[in-house]
């Protein structure tokens, strides 16, 4: 690794630590804090990352990517594809609810700068494993899972309005799980 890469990685590592310590309250993090902890000038951070928001988004995307790579929902191997995808979705939604600031930034980052392999698409890919036994084409499965993930993300982003919009309080796990069941049933149940 060259010196520039080392410095950028150190800035990202320090910023990630600050995000974790702030419990996702990114407004409490300043460029000056980052620069002091990383032992680099403010100008260097601005040069490499342009804005605090850009740096935070990079860090959060890496954090979510790490969570996704380790994510293994506790699902019975003998469960039906529908039970598997529901269990996985409930685990993902629990993570999102428990990490709202980080999750919001990740989802909005993917919508603002979509990539073929962003965190949304990694989630789509992960959910696809639950549907191995669903009898339909691979392309239809991809579309169904993408729609499912998109609906879950939109519901999460509107979680404060969920009771008025859907009649389910997103902050109450039982109600959130029931909403996930309804969404999954409407998308994946064989007709």
Question: How confident is the model over 113-130, as pLDDT tens digits?
Answer: 899 988 899 889 888 887
Cβ contacts of 56 within 8 Å, gap of 6 or more: 15, 19, 26, 29, 105
Domains for the chain: give ranges and CATH numbers: 3-60 (1.10.10.60), 71-188 (no CATH)
Report the pLDDT value the prediction gives residue 80, as an integer from 0 to 100: 87
Q: For residue range 140-180, what is the model confidence (pLDDT) as tens digits? A: 889 999 999 999 999 999 999 999 998 999 999 999 999 99
- For CA atoms 13, 18, 23, 29, the dihedral sign is negative
The Cα 148–Cα 161 span in angstroms is 19
* pTM for this prediction: 0.77
In angstroms, the Cα distances linking 96 to 125, 154, 168 are: 18, 12, 17
Neighbours of 59 (CB within 10 A): 26
**Banded model confidence at residue 72, pLDDT cuts 50, 70, 90:** low
Give the tokens for residue 75: 């699902």
């Amino acid at each position: 690794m060259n010196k520039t890469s080392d410095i950028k990685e150190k800035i990202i590592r320090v910023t990630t630590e600050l995000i974790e310590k702030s419990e996702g309250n990114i407004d409490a993090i300043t460029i000056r804090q980052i620069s002091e902890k990383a032992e680099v000038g403010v100008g260097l951070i601005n040069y490499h990352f342009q804005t605090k928001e850009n740096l935070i988004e990079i860090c959060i995307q890496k954090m979510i990517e790490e969570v996704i790579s380790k994510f293994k929902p506790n699902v019975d191997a003998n469960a039906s594809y529908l039970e598997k995808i529901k269990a996985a979705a409930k685990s993902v939604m629990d993570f999102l609810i428990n990490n709202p600031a980080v999750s919001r930034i990740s989802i909005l980052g993917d919508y603002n700068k979509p990539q073929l392999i962003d965190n949304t698409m990694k989630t789509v890919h992960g959910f696809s494993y639950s549907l191995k036994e669903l009898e339909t084409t691979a392309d239809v499965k991809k579309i169904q899972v993408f729609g499912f993930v998109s609906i879950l993300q939109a519901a999460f982003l509107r979680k404060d309005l969920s009771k008025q919009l859907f009649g389910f309080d997103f902050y109450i796990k039982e109600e959130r799980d029931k909403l996930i069941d309804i969404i999954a049933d409407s998308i994946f149940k064989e007709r």
